């Protein structure tokens, strides 16, 4: 059976006494393409923040694969509880992740500087290799490399900025890609291109790529063993066309709980009234500009 990448067990999250997520139990395996959907306020982004360790759970657990350490039983990577892991362990796990935020989270500076920062800080790559990897990542998202590489962030259109954000993630060669509403507010043609990017990135297996700094001998061996590992993608979205085109495993949150978890083909059937109603609302929700 394919190794587990992420797992939640009876996960709950409350803010000021208001329960947002209620006993969420999910398992995401390596190589899965997963879309998390639900009406505004249903807890999608909160779930994403919990999965990435940016928020602590109120109760329950989030377990993540630490690809620097092999499991004792040889079943894959060791699973670590994000709620009890120290900062060092969290940082080590996150070296194998990349997040594409809704507002892209590009910092002020040029495209080159945005792509190079993580590689310079966390890998032993030379300046030449960082430049090569940055150019290759931009090429993979269908941008004119020579035109874009020196552009400042504020000179990018919305569609270009989204592609640069994905290129920055691709340059890190992550095992897990997280996307927070990657196409909200974009016109349909740009949105369609982003769908294609998500699909092609997901289906390109991760390589060893580079050795990460500050890893010991056993951890370096575990890193090398990830070559060819299928990439896992988790997408928070309101985009019905993305679901239709990519046909991911679809998880719908409603009233703080999972009301549907299964293939896209079964989503919105009459046996799940909240999903059926939500499908009708999706085009309106997706068309809103990010707040």
- Using alpha carbons, list the distances in angstroms from residue 107 to 96, 162, 181, 232, 275: 21, 13, 19, 26, 37
Q: Are 80 and 161 in contact (CB under 8 A)?
A: no
Residues in the chain where the model's pLDDT stays below 50: 214, 289-291
- Using alpha carbons, list the distances in angstroms from residue 250 to 33, 128, 247: 9, 41, 8
Q: Quote the tokens at residue 284.
A: 């309106």
pLDDT of residue 81: 94
pLDDT of residue 193: 86
Predicted TM-score of the model (pTM): 0.86
- The CA radius of gyration of the chain, in Å to the nearest whole number, is 19
Name residues whose C-beta falls within 8 Å of residue 75's C-beta, 6 or more positions apart in sequence: 3
Task: For the chain, list the domains and their CATH numbers.
Answer: 4-107+178-287 (3.40.50.300)
- The count of other CB atoms within 10 Å of the CB of residue 5 is 27
pLDDT of residue 221: 52
pLDDT of residue 289: 45
Q: Are 66 and 92 in contact (CB under 8 A)?
A: yes
Q: Quote the tokens at residue 143.
A: 């941008």
pLDDT of residue 197: 86
Q: How far apart are CA 222 and CA 267, in angstroms?
A: 38
- Cα 121 to its chain centre, rounded Å, is 21
What order do you get walking across the sheet with 97-100 strand by strand? Answer: 97-100, 176-180, 232-236, 33-37, 249-254, 257-263
Helical residues (DSSP H) of 172-258, grouped into ranges = 188-202, 217-224, 240-246
pLDDT of residue 170: 85
pLDDT of residue 249: 96
142-184, pLDDT tens digit by residue?
Answer: 889 999 999 999 999 888 888 899 889 888 888 999 999 888 8
Q: Strands 176-180, 232-236: parallel, antiparallel or unpaired by DSSP?
A: parallel
């Amino acid at each position: 059976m394919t190794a587990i990448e992420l797992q939640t067990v009876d996960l709950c999250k409350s803010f000021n006494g208001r329960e947002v997520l209620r006993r969420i139990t999910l398992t995401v395996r390596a190589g899965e393409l997963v879309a998390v959907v639900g009406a505004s306020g249903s807890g999608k982004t909160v779930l994403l923040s919990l999965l990435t360790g940016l928020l602590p759970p109120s109760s329950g657990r989030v377990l993540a694969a630490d690809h620097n350490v092999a499991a004792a039983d040889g079943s894959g990577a060791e699973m670590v509880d994000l709620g009890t892991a120290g900062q060092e362990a969290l940082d080590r796990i996150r070296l194998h992740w990349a997040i594409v935020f809704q507002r892209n989270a590009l910092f002020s500076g040029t495209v080159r500087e945005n792509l190079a920062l993580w590689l310079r800080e966390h890998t032993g790559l030379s300046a030449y290799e960082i430049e090569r990897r940055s150019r290759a990542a931009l090429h993979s998202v269908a941008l004119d490399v020579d035109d874009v590489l020196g552009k400042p962030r504020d000179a990018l259109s919305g569609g270009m900025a989204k592609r640069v954000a994905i290129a920055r993630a691709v340059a890190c060669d992550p095992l897990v890609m997280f996307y927070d509403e990657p196409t909200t507010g974009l016109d349909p043609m740009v949105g369609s291109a982003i769908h294609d990017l998500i699909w092609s990135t997901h289906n390109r297996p991760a390589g060893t790529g580079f050795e990460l700094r500050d890893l010991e001998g056993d951890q370096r061996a575990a890193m090398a063993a990830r070559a060819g590992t299928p990439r896992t993608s988790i997408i928070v979205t309101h985009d019905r066309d993305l679901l239709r085109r990519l046909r991911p495993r679809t998880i719908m949150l409603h009233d703080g709980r999972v009301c549907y978890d299964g293939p896209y083909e079964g989503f919105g059937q009459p046996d799940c009234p909240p999903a059926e109603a939500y499908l009708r609302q999706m085009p309106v929700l997706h068309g809103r500009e990010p707040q």
